[in-house]
Amino acid sequence: MSEAEGRTVRVDVHCHTVASYDSQLLPERLLARADAVGLDAVVVTDHDTVHGAHVAADLAVDYDVTVLVGCEVSTADGHLLAIGVDEAPKPDEPLSATVQRIRDAGGLAVVPHPFQRSRHGASAAAIEGVDGVEVYNAHAMVGLRNDQAERFARERGYPAFGGSDAHRAGGLGLAATAVTLAPGQPPSPATILAAMRDGRTAAVGRRTSTWQYVTKLVATARYNAPSLL
């Protein structure tokens, strides 16, 4: 691609560290793996906290990977990625209100794994005025919901995003977002966020393995199971 057209970078916009209850991935391990698989950037999106993302951002100087701070917000209507925010929005509020909070903070609101109710995916009725839709989530057992998300985003004109939803190193980068930067701009949190805001995105990648999918389901089930103590 010529300089006049702008550089396209590969960004995993949906990944987790140990700051998420269901992840075992240390921030330094996440960055090393991202570097190894050729990602240009990651958005760390732990559940309802930006702590892991800030740790990763501080460590990023030692890696050839750009880190955007974010989180996966548990709204009253399903999960929502807050990309490019310094603080985690308050959980359990309506999705529409959370979208506005994210925008007021200078970030982008992207719906992850929509329609997957078992994974707290938002319904079509709840998705309104967002900045993008994750049309390819690598952590899906089959492609039905990804296909549905892609059609939904295309019909409503929402920019398409892809993310690995990685909770372990092996899943990182399986899916990502190809982001085309403005001409002459190097990759940085600001330039990547600006390109995303302009809708210069495309989803790329492949689904996780059955073993990785089942492993995450077991970890989540253990966390959600009632205590016997």
Question: In this predicted model, what pLDDT tens digit does every residue of 75-93 receive, in sequence order?
Answer: 999 999 999 999 999 999 9
3-state secondary structure the chain: CCCCCCCEEEEEEEECCCCCCCCCCCHHHHHHHHHHCCCCEEEEEEECCCHHHHHHHHHHHHCCCEEEEEEEEEECCEEEEEECCCCCCCCCCCHHHHHHHHHHCCCEEEECCCCCHHHCCCCHHHCCCCCEEEEEECCCCCCHHHHHHHHHHHHHCCCEEEECCECCHHHCCCEEEEEECCCCCCCCHHHHHHHHHCCCEEEEECCCCHHHHHHHHHHHHHHHCCCCC
pLDDT of the residue at 224: 45
pLDDT cut 70: percent of the chain above it: 87
Question: In this predicted model, what pLDDT tens digit does every residue of 155-211 receive, in sequence order?
Answer: 999 999 999 999 999 999 999 999 999 999 999 999 999 999 999 999 998 655 444
